[in-house]
Every structure is written in structure tokens, then in C-alpha cells.
A = this chain, B = another copy of it.
Amino acid sequence: MADPLVIFTPSGKRGRFAVGTPVLTAAQQLGVDLDSVCGGRGICSKCQITPSYGEFSKHGVSVQENALSEWNSVEQRYDDKRGLQKGRRLGCQATIQDDVVIDVPESSQVHRQVVRKRAEARDITMAPAIKLFYVEVEQPDMHDPSGDLERLIKSLRADWQLPHLTADFSILRGLQPTLRKGGWKITCAVHLEENRIIHLWPGFYEGSIYGLAIDLGSTTIAAHLCDLQTGEITASAGIMNPQIRFGEDLMSRVSYSMMNPGGDLEMTKTVRDGINTLISDIAGEGQIDPAYIMDVVLVCNPVMHHLLLGIDPFELGQAPFALATSDALNLRATDLSLKLNPASRVYILPCIAGHVGADAAAVALSEAPDKSDDLVLVVDVGTNAEILLGNREKVLACSSPTGPAFEGAQISSGQRAAPGAIERVEIDPTTKEPRFKVIGSDLWSDQAGFDDVVETTGITGICGSGIIEMVAEMRLAGLLDGPGLIGSPEQTGTARCFQDGRTYSYLVWEDEARKITVTNRDIREIQMAKAALYSGARLLMDKFGVDKVDRVVLAGAFGAHISPKHAMVLGMIPDAPLDKVTSAGNAAGTGARIALLNTKARRDIEATVQSIHKIETAIEPRFQEHFVNASNIPNAVEPFPILNSIVTLPDVNFNTGGGETPNRRRRRRTS
């Protein structure tokens, strides 16, 4: 009689195995993705499976109730202690008795999927750099002397088919006591790319190990603490980048380094200290020991990249904007003075070019324009905007110096996105009266109960997405002309426009404590920023040889809150159907998380970055041209398609203002 047939789902892998073969063994022999940390010793419970019973399964196999061995004492003990979901068995305990169909639930797969929230995003397949392995080690024998480490490595090779491992220097001291404390049973964290043992626990370690995905921005540092076994986000935290005291934007920091000998090292220490604060915060929030954070993936722009690494960013402040190094980096946490496990590793994504950093590479990893069938424009809006345009055929990248206006900085009433900040605005085209919403409340300012909002959070300023809506609404209401001048009370017919030095400002709101206005200087800042962004996108479109894109993805924390309609009114982004403009949230952070959870993704993005066509806006005459043309806010002479209908903007012209060129702008920023 033939051996029983075993079919695994969802893989469909099948084979015949002798009666009495443990399910885990069968799975391993067939290469079925079934997890195990303890190697089949009934300790870890990672190998849970669900047999399908029933006369005929969908695979046409008759499965008897007794197709697997009886529930045994190990399973009973585990069930008593921790509870085993109904119908589940431990794959290392249940043995094959007859033909059977066995389902491997998602949670028992090593390479399980971590589901991303956005519909259009691909799931993440778990394949982290570090995995836990439990082994039992031979005791030392005077007749055949060998090192404890060498016997440990031998067990790991024999039980887990791992290649020859080496030990991180940091584990040597604890090795002997740990082996003896665990009675020659030990759990090892192994870095699978370096083939290196990086941490040890006596006996079977029931806890998890963690990784940190860090998005190191010029203004904020944000991180996700991820469980490297499940892929789940254990905690998230963010802090202000403490480097801000050396300059709000990157060029100010480059200047600081140029003007102050040793200034770069001062900034290096500051940002590393900042990351250490964040590590401490997030470990506290996740209630874990920071020593169990064993892998870190870091993304950042080139200036932050160099400052973090201890490289003077001097060369990035001047043509030809040469990076010291652009490839991905595999470092030790100690290289960066990070207070983690001494064996913790840091992976930094590759930079694309002197102005297009590892953060842009992370956006490319998350949004994968290189795998898109339609032509996608990905814009990561920050102090510097990184822009990607491409499809399966090719991908182009550039960066554009938008400045911090989109983040609420250098705007008279601007502020960071926080409770009390105006984030949504509408201006009545007839009365010119504004209504708005602030962060922390769902009420519009003209709705009942808004006074309570004022009481609670106050109206503290306008955040980045609010200022975009504000300017676009002012244009739509005829308070602003195409070149960007605010009209006088006479020209606009509202007292909210008032003389403010040589130009006019618009009063949004005031009480005893505070007066929130939009000045003409604010308008100029937004015009410069949006022109830079638009020109970058247009330049890439020129290079690609297209004059429209199929879809637009807005990335960045700011991108998540932006109103596509207002962005298009403002002329920030090229025209596209409104339903094809989506937000990817913090795509750089997501890219970092993907690289943290899947080492193959690291190899992918390294290859992708090599093939991306880098465009340096600073040397492209077309960029200057686009910039000059884009500083105006589109007016009635240029009909503007929104939702495939034409919106005609008021044909007003309050005066003629002098423009600023991108080069003048660059000079101003670096001086």
C-alpha cells in the first residue's frame, strides 16, 4: 500500500510520507513555508497547522478523522498553558497516519504577508534579516575538546541547515554562562545575511525581537518599532529633529558647517542624540528592552545622510553636488553611536543622487513606480521635494528646493500640523468670508459649538495643508490675482483685505490673543514653493516625453493631508483626474519598513536605484523656464480642468510684482 498522501494548502505542495512522519518534517521536506523556532521540540508553537477533515476535500482526497495522530500531551500542555485555536494542531507533534489535506494558516508561515492598509499598495512579505533559532548543544568532552561556540555552530548547522556561522564579538563573553544557565539549550538570533550569531538567550526564548524603521527628516524624525517575527508595528513615535537649531532648512545646515569649524560634527552628534532619544521613547512606548531592537533601517535626504554618518555635507552645498557615497550601507549601530544591542545592525537605503536621497529611494520602494503599468508621478513634499516619474519602462527622479513653506514654516501665521492649526479652508466667492476647520475638531468655524473648539485648542495658526487651501481659495474667491498679489479692500470689496506695509494682507481670524492673517509675503513663499515643485515635475515629464501623467501620488506626512483640488488650483502638480490623485502617507517611512521586514526588498531597491535616471534640476535650463512660468497662479486665460470639467478662475489683476528665479532663490538659501 502506498504511503499516505499529504497536501498542503495554500501552497498546493504535495507528497507521500511514511506513517508516523511529523507534519513539520513533511512540510520541511516539501519546502512548505511552515515556521518553527524550536526545531520541532514542541516548545515554540510556531508550526500550528489545521487539518481539513471531511469525506472528500476540495482536493479530491478523502480525509478521515484519524488521518493525523491523536492529540498528544505536548499539545495538551500547550493548550492548557496558552490556548490553541480550535482545530489547530502542532505540526511537530501531529504525525501523518493517512491521506490528509493540511492548511498552513498565515500566522504559521515564515514568509507571511503583512497587509498594507492602502488598496493600491502591495503587501509586505516577511523575510527579515534576523531570525531566532533554538538548539540543543552538545556538552564539552575532554576526549574531543572543542569550543562551546564551535559546538553551538555545529548544532545550528545540523538542526537548521544554516551555513557556517560566525559569532558577533559581543556574544563571546556571555556564551558560556548562557549555555550553562539554559542547560545546553539556547535560543540564538542569527543575522541571515551576515551568517552571524548576534544574540543569545538561555533555553527557549519566548519573546520577540524588534526592528526600527526610521525616517530621518530635516524637521522630524519618525520611527516605527516592528516585531521582526510578525511584522506588526509594536509602537510608533516621532520627535523634532534637534538639528533644527542649526537651521530650519538643509542649506542653512550646510552653511552652518561651512561657517563653523567642527560644525558638522556638532550636528552629527545632535542628530545621533536625537535618534537615541527616539529609541528610548519608542522602546518605552512598546515596553521592550532597547537591546532587543536588533535591526534598523534608516532613510533620509543626502544632507541628513552625510551628517548622520559623520561626513561634512560641504560638497552637497555646491555643484556638482557630489555625494561621498551613494550606495546602500550596512553598518553597525555602534558606528552611529546608537544605544542598542552592541550587535545591532543598521541598513541605510541607497541615495539616488546629490539631491535625491535614501528617503526618495524608500518612496520608490514603497510606491514602486518601476512596477507601475500606468505612468505615475510620485511627489514627496517636504522641505525638499523628491519627484519620481515613471512606469515599467523607465523611472526618472529629481529633487526640487521647495523650501519649508509647505510645512508651515516661513509663513507669518504658519505652524506645524498640531491641534489648533487651521487645516481646511473655504472662502465664499461672494462675501469673501472664510470658514475653516482646525486640527482636533470636525466642526467648521461657522457651525454651532465651534466656540468650544476655540476654548479647548485655540486657533493657533495655519498648517501646511491649510495654507495651500487658503491660497487656492483666495484665488478662487478673486482675492488674489494670477501673478499673486492680494487685492486692496476696494479691489476685493472686503475689509478683510487690509493695507499691511506696501502690500495687502487677508485677515482670517482674530480674537484678543491672536490675529491670523495671510500676507502677500506668505503668498510669495507659497508661489516659490509650488513653482519649484511643479517645475520639477514638468521637467521630468519633458524628459520622459509626455505632457500628462496617468496618476499622481502625494507622499510625505504633508502629502497625506493635502487637498488634490486645491493643489491643482494652485498649480502645484500637473493636471490629472482628481480620482487619480492619491495620498501614500509617509511613503518614505513605509519604504523603510519594507526594507526592514524583507531583505530581498533591499536588493530590489539597490538595483532599482541603479537604473533610475537622475535629473539634476540645477543644470537644466528647462527647469528655470518652467519655474518662471509656474510662479503665477493659473488664471482665467488658462482654463483649468478639475474632475474633467473646466474651472475658470477670476480674471483679476491687482498689480505686477517682480518674480524671483530659482537661482536667486538657491543663492538666498545658501547665503
Contacts and interface: CB of A to CB of B under 8 A. Distances in A.
A312 B176 contact: yes
Contact of A322 (B148, B172, B353): B148
A150 interface: yes
A175 interface: yes
Contact of A176 (B142, B315, B319, B352): B315
A613 to B, nearest CB: 10
Interface in A231-247: none
Nearest to A323: B147
Interface of A: 139-150, 167, 169, 172-173, 175-177, 309-312, 314-315, 319-327, 331-332, 335, 351-354, 614, 616, 618-619
A265 to B, nearest CB: 9
Contacts of A323: 145-148
A656 to B, nearest CB: 35
Contacts of A145: 320-323, 326, 352-354, 614, 616
Contact of A324 (B142, B147, B314, B315): B147
A65 B325 CA distance: 51
Nearest to A268: B173
A573 to B, nearest CB: 25
Given A176-B322, A614-B145, A616-B142, A150 B309 contact: no
B142 A172 contact: no
Contacts of A144: 614
Contacts of A321: 140, 142, 145
How many subunits of this chain does the assembly comprise?
2
A176 B315 CA distance: 8
A149 B175 CA distance: 38
Given A140-B322, A310-B172, A327 B619 contact: no
A619 B142 contact: yes
Contact of A172 (B141, B148, B324): B324
Given A149-B324, A150-B326, A150-B327, A311 B173 contact: yes
Contacts of A354: 142, 145
Contacts of A353: 145
24 contacts: A140-B322, A141-B320, A142-B319, A142-B616, A142-B618, A142-B619, A144-B614, A145-B326, A145-B352, A147-B324, A147-B327, A148-B315, A149-B325, A150-B325, A169-B331, A172-B309, A172-B311, A172-B325, A173-B309, A176-B311, A176-B312, A176-B314, A176-B315, A177-B312
Nearest to A342: B335
Nearest to A144: B614
Nearest to A170: B335
Given A145-B354, A173-B312, A176-B314, 5 more contacts: A141-B320, A146-B323, A147-B327, A148-B324, A149-B324
Nearest to A613: B144
A149 B335 CA distance: 18
A169 B351 CA distance: 17
B311 A351 contact: no
- Among all A-B residue pairs, the 6 with the closest Cβ atoms: A147-B326, A140-B322, A145-B353, A149-B325, A147-B325, A147-B323
Contacts of A320: 139-142, 145
B147 A335 contact: no
A140 B355 CA distance: 14
